[in-house]
Chain A
């Protein structure tokens, strides 16, 4: 009777705790999200960013090729003329409106492939949850890289 209890109850419990005990001293695979975050791979495709040149001018020329390449048609681009007074990008054309519907986006990265100036890139920021549907339409202001800080001389 006692032998049965030891074999069927104590031993399995002991085996289980042994596994737990062994893993207690091994390196951990999970992180304490959101306090800690895992490092992303360099080519991870998450949130889009519109890049700038070093001069601060936008790389995007509003050519709409990303919208053409997008398999889910989630990008909307409206272009306009650059003037010498109001210059956003080198050349004649810039994107007046640039919107991505993140609910529709499948993060395939075709827009990045299509971009002739390397303006749109998909980067590591993966925390895209929000409360309203409207908040998922990312505007140009949200996507654009902040202006480089002018170095003091």
Chain B
């Protein structure tokens, strides 16, 4: 059963250490104890995994209140991690018996533990060390020889296994079975020989292997990358978020002497729970990449020469203003990258709109470059993506359309898998090749690459036949929809997509029978040849099934890069102002900015690059993007950046695009600056500065702000906080995302 989103849990009265409290029925006692700050040490229990009660560390004395008011105690201590709270439960966590039991459990665990804490990477942040310190015996009565097993055994490129240190809590094994679902690890052998390993002693091959390092309560599983790099007291920990994809996982970035040494997950129940993906956790240290742009550079005599910032600024403004005065506003264009923060993107589009008076600004690297307002938001009546992460658990069907979820959105994959595993949410996958998500999907539609539109049309036609008439009644323009897909019968769909009529029928029935459906659309939709029609078709599917206005259902076109959503919100688009305003609604923006804005829509990225080739666009400003490598048509992008007369590239690394730059500006990497990112569920989250900037690099927003100051002579923003305040004035939904409200977990902006 899917978990209802707004269900009020039933409360029960319990008592812990003499303190009476109310907790939701079924909450495990170990969690309830945290509410009264009673210490219950654990090893095997993990909040986001099934409880198993393997380590016996969490023993407590338990009793139940009898009708006559007396308390009947259980004869033996109970494992609190597997004991759900019920009415009248009474628990004691610090009785003499419990203290003795904990000592005994720890003495047993330490019998074979090598106690090589000084060289163990876990030393200093080790639950076994801490629990022994607080609850354990100071000496051991075991004087015999300890068990010896292989040490420093590489399991994969990321994970190192030390079998001697393992205490067989089973957290790692359960993680791969329950959470990541790849079931790579298992306990081999039995009794004293029990050891966690991959089944066939093969490589530990998982997309989420880094998590087992963090959940291991001892140093049995350690990171190969962090191995011997630092001890916990050497490092500075900074909370921030990962900018690898649009999921926005909360992380801790640990640095030693200004050098990033590792990334750990930070708990955010709304986003990543406590997980990270390997792509994020073991991301290359971009801060120390050898090909970083260290200082501003100008091309002189065919080579980029280092200059001062003010020289670069002067040249950029001179060329941009010159060309604009000569060739009109269409002679200049800006391309924004999706790795930039909301503040950067906002100031970038302000620089072009208010500074140069041009709407030639875009961020899209995909084939779809239409007007999202017209194609998606107006028909749906809401700004997509409609859902948040936890809706995955509340919906009844997850329809993954054209997305290799585990690769594009790893955290959504984990949450979708959890929804299926824990709450029995069904899943349906449509993708040309087998993907990981198929493992838990009830039905998989494998279609010919590029035939997404035919498949969607066929599905819509089948749905219109299956859905009961009373459900379809209120749909506006139903006849038009019916006519548009009338020719898409199952035979035609099979010819086009290769999906057999029976499979299509089954999928359509699944959708028709589900009370709610979350449609997750990915890269194959953004990059479809007829993306606009395809998005329209998906919108219609969402509408006819009644999911457009359901809270736990809806259409989610997931952005493909870190701040793809922020770029749309901030109006880094040629035909849309910040806050989803069309160009005609510029009056309120003019009031805040104090200038007049252009009404002509600008060039979308393809048209922009084409114009560069035809040299109608003379000056191109690419900030934080590498279209030569990432554009869906790299040849077009490469030819454009080569032929454009004056190219400014502002980026962290000397990318393929930056090679062609006439002016290259160094930007700060994500951990060197602060800002906010909006993840795919519209959650604005803060990043903090963790390490000092490299060379003369500046945060992007500061570069734009300094350029704007030279152009408009207005008081510039002095920090990202002020930029965000201005965004709140321009786009009222973001007023809730001011820095004072964001805190650690971010805020999901609501459409007003």
List the interface of chain A (C-beta within 8 A of B): 61-65, 67-68, 79-81, 91-93, 116-117
Q: Which residues of B contact A67 (CB under 8 A)?
A: 231, 233-234
Which candidate, B115-123, B587-595, B739-747, is the interface stretch facing chain A? B115-123
Given A63-B118, A63-B119, A68-B124: A92 in contact with B233 (beta carbons within 8 A): no
B152 interface residue, CB < 8 Å from A? yes
Q: Are A68 and B231 in contact (CB under 8 A)?
A: yes
Q: Which residues of chain B are within 8 angstroms of A80 by Cβ–Cβ distance?
A: 228
Known A-B contacts A61-B118, A63-B118, A63-B123; the reply to A92 vs B152 at CB < 8 A is yes
Residue with the highest number of chain A CB atoms closer than 10 Å, among B124, B230, B234: B234
Q: Is B536 an interface residue (CB 8 A)?
A: no
Partner of A68, one of B119, B152, B227, B233: B233
Q: List B contacts of A62 (CB < 8 A).
A: 119, 228
Q: Name B162's closest neighbour in chain A (CB-CB).
A: A92
A-B contacts, 29 listed (Cβ < 8 Å): A61-B118, A61-B119, A62-B228, A63-B118, A63-B119, A63-B123, A63-B231, A64-B231, A64-B233, A64-B234, A65-B118, A65-B231, A67-B231, A67-B233, A67-B234, A68-B124, A68-B231, A68-B233, A68-B234, A79-B119, A79-B228, A79-B229, A80-B228, A81-B228, A91-B116, A91-B119, A92-B151, A93-B119, A93-B228
Q: How close is B691's CB to chain A, nearest CB, in angstroms?
A: 17
A140 to B119, CA, bound (A): 18
Q: Give the contact-size bracket for chain B.
A: 10 to 19
Question: Nearest Cβ in chain A — how far from B450, in angstroms?
Answer: 49
Residues of A within 8 A of B227 (CB): 81
Chain B residues within an 8 Å CB radius of A68: 124, 231, 233-234
Residues in A with CB closer than 8 Å to B151 are 92
Contacts of B229 in A (CB 8 A): 79
Of the listed residues A63, A67, A116, the one surrounded by the most CB atoms of chain B closer than 10 A to its CB is A63
Q: How far is the CA of A61 from the CA of B234 in the complex (A)?
A: 16
B288 to chain A, nearest CB (A): 16
Report the bound CA distance from A79 to B121 in whole Å: 11
Which residue from chain A places its CB closest to the CB of B116 in the assembled complex? A91
Chain B residue at minimum C-beta to C-beta distance from A116:
B118
What is the CB-to-nearest-CB distance from B235 to chain A, in angstroms, rounded to a whole number?
11
Closest A residue to B152 using CB positions: A92
* B233 partner residues in chain A, CB cutoff 8 A: 64, 67-68
Q: CA of A150 to CA of B178 in the docked complex: distance in angstroms? A: 59
List the 5 shortest-distance A-B pairs measured between CB atoms, nearest first.
A63-B118, A79-B228, A93-B119, A68-B233, A64-B231
Interfacial chain A residues near B118, Cβ < 8 Å: 61, 63, 65, 116-117
Question: How close is B194's CB to chain A, nearest CB, in angstroms?
Answer: 23
- Minimum distance in angstroms from B13 CB to a CB of chain A: 46
Residues of B within 8 A of A (CB): 116, 118-119, 123-124, 151-152, 227-231, 233-234
Q: Which residues of B contact A92 (CB under 8 A)?
A: 119, 151-152
- Closest chain-B Cβ to A101's Cβ sits at a distance in Å of 14
Complex Cα gap A61–B121 (Å): 13
Residue of B nearest to A91 (CB): B119
Q: Which residues of A contact B228 (CB under 8 A)?
A: 62, 79-81, 93
Knowing that A64-B230, A67-B233, A92-B119 touch, tell me 19 more A-B residue pairs with CB under 8 angstroms. Answer: A62-B119, A62-B228, A63-B118, A63-B119, A63-B123, A64-B231, A64-B234, A65-B231, A67-B231, A67-B234, A68-B124, A68-B234, A79-B229, A80-B228, A91-B116, A92-B151, A92-B152, A93-B228, A116-B118
Most buried by A among B118, B123, B227, B233: B118
A25 shortest CB reach to chain B, Å:
57
What chain A residues lie within 8 Å of B234 (beta carbons)?
Answer: 64, 67-68
CA distance in complex: A80, B152 (Å): 13
Which residues of chain A have C-beta atoms less than 8 A from B119's C-beta?
61-63, 79, 91-93
What CA separation (Å) do A116 and B152 show in the bound complex?
A: 21
| Complex interface: chain B residues within 8 A of A116 (CB) | 118
Shortest distance in angstroms between B119's beta carbon and chain A's nearest beta carbon?
4
Cα separation A147 to B56 with both chains bound (whole Å): 50
The residues of A that contact B231 with a CB separation of less than 8 Å are: 63-65, 67-68
Q: How far is the CA of A64 from the CA of B233 in the complex (A)?
A: 9
- Chain B residues within an 8 Å CB radius of A64: 230-231, 233-234
**In the docked arrangement, what's the CA distance between A65 and B151, Å?**
22
A62 to B231, CA, bound (A): 10
Q: Bound state CA distance, A93 and B118, in angstroms?
A: 9
**Complex CA–CA separation, A137 to B229 (angstroms):** 21
Nearest neighbor of B234 in chain A, beta-carbon distance: A64
CA distance A116 to B115 in the complex (A): 11
Q: How far is the CB of B229 from chain A (nearest CB, A)?
A: 8
Contacts of B152 on A, CB cut-off 8 Å? 81, 92
A72-B547 Cα distance, complex, nearest whole Å:
63
The CA of A117 and the CA of B117, in the complex, are separated in Å by 12
A45 to chain B, nearest CB (A): 22
Shortest distance between the CB of A69 and any CB in chain B (Å): 9
A114: nearest chain-B partner, CB-CB: B118
Q: What residue in chain B is nearest A65 (Cβ atoms)?
A: B118
Residues of A within 8 A of B123 (CB): 63
In whole Å, how far is B121's beta carbon from the nearest beta carbon of chain A?
9
The distance from the CB of A58 to the nearest CB of chain B, in whole angstroms, is: 13
Q: Please measure, in the bound complex, the distance between the C-alpha atom of A67 and the C-alpha atom of B234, giving whole angstroms.
A: 8
- Distance A80 CA – B118 CA, assembled complex (angstroms): 13
Contacts of A93 in B (CB 8 A): 119, 228
Q: How far is the CA of A114 from the CA of B230 in the complex (A)?
A: 17
